[in-house]
Amino acid sequence: MRADKKSRTGDTELSGGDITWKSDSFFRNPAFPFYIQRFGIRPFKPHAHDFIQLVIIEQGTVTHTMYGTTVKLRPGDVIFVPPLMKHTLKCRDGSAVSIVKISFAPSVIHPSLSAHLSFITAAEPEAAFLHPLADMIRANRYRAISSGADFRNVRTLIDGMLDRFTKKDLFHEISIKAYLLQLLALLAAAYQQPVQSPRTHTTMKHSDAIDTAVRFIETHCQDDITLADAAKAASMSSSFFSRSFKSVIGKPFVHYLAEARIAKASAMLAQSERSITDICYESGFNDLNHFCRTFKRLLGVTPSDYRQPQT
């Protein structure tokens, strides 16, 4: 199979059928086969790759299909995609979504891990971080759940990797590897916890109400909505909703709302010719400078750079 169009951001557009990404053509630097990207509404058709990929849901609700199983993902969910495993990612049309993809070959962890699945049986100490992922393969379980403080730590590590990967300053490869090992350690701990423990009985009890609020936010984020409006949609008091939302989603309402607006803005930038100023106001922001600062903080580039075609 082939890709009719391939951008250097790692996105793929297909004319039909499936595709398998190869490390030697996907990664810019063969000596350090690593790539990280935060993006918005970009569904992926069925594809596979001969390297490891982590898919982290930061914002919105998506469905992920792999190994014949479709699961619904929300913020805090992390999917481990092993090499050569076909998968696809979908979201509702027009929904506000923020996803991080981390793609890397096992050799990033240790030079001896050159084969696609060599980490499953590797004895090197560094490979111990990948052993829980190997257990996931054996158990056909590819999902880890993080929330609250754990998810905040995950996001901190992601932001660190994005910053060093974008700047490519001195020793950035060592820094990225350190961040990646910390992230894998967190995911290993999350995987080994009992399935029900990452989200407490309290958060599970109210998760449906929070899901209702999330849908409300995604639908109305361009409007002048408040925490009280979202709490009303969830049939909760404002104070209880604020605590429950942060417990389930892993971030305060105001942060989630800003991310929903940026996700909507990124979609409009990619799919329309409207001016950045118009998109700023249409996505729910009241100040252009604040919009541009928030956009760059969350996506790592300015709105104008985001709109430029990738080469």
Q: How confident is the model at residue 36 (pLDDT cuts 50, 70, 90)?
A: very high
Residue 47 is predicted with a pLDDT of 82
Give the Cα separation of 86 and 103 in Å (integer): 15
Would you say residue 118 has pLDDT above 90?
A: no
Residue 285 is predicted with a pLDDT of 96
> Average pLDDT of 102-125?
71
- Exposure on the CB side of residue 106, measured as CA atoms within 13 A: 24
Tell me the whole-structure pTM to 2 decimals. 0.59
Q: How confident is the model at residue 7 (pLDDT cuts 50, 70, 90)?
A: very low
Would you say residue 119 has pLDDT above 70?
A: no
Least confident residue range of 71-80, 88-97, 123-132, 246-255: 123-132
Question: Which parts of the chain are beta strand (E)?
Answer: 5-6, 12-13, 19-21, 34-39, 44-49, 52-59, 62-66, 69-73, 77-81, 87-91, 98-104, 143-145
Residue 169 is predicted with a pLDDT of 85
168 token code pair: 């490519």
> Average pLDDT of 218-238?
93
Least confident residue range of 11-20, 130-139, 144-153, 290-299: 11-20
For residue 56, the 8-state DSSP code is E
Residue 170 is predicted with a pLDDT of 85
Over residues 281-295, the pLDDT tens digits come to: 999 999 999 999 998
The percentage of the chain sitting over the pLDDT mark of 90, rounded to a whole number, equals: 23
Residue 131 is predicted with a pLDDT of 67
CATH architecture classification, 201-307: Orthogonal Bundle (1.10)
Domain boundaries, the chain: 5-192, 201-307
Residue 263 is predicted with a pLDDT of 78
Residue-wise burial string across 255-270, b where 16 or more C-beta atoms lie within 10 A, e elsewhere = ebbbbbbbbbbbbbbe
Would you say residue 197 has pLDDT above 70?
A: no
| CATH number of 5-192, picked from 2.60.120.280, 1.10.275.10, 2.60.120.380, 2.60.40.1180 | 2.60.120.280
Give the Cα separation of 118 and 107 in Å (integer): 9
Over residues 144-176, the pLDDT tens digits come to: 666 666 777 888 899 999 999 998 888 999 999
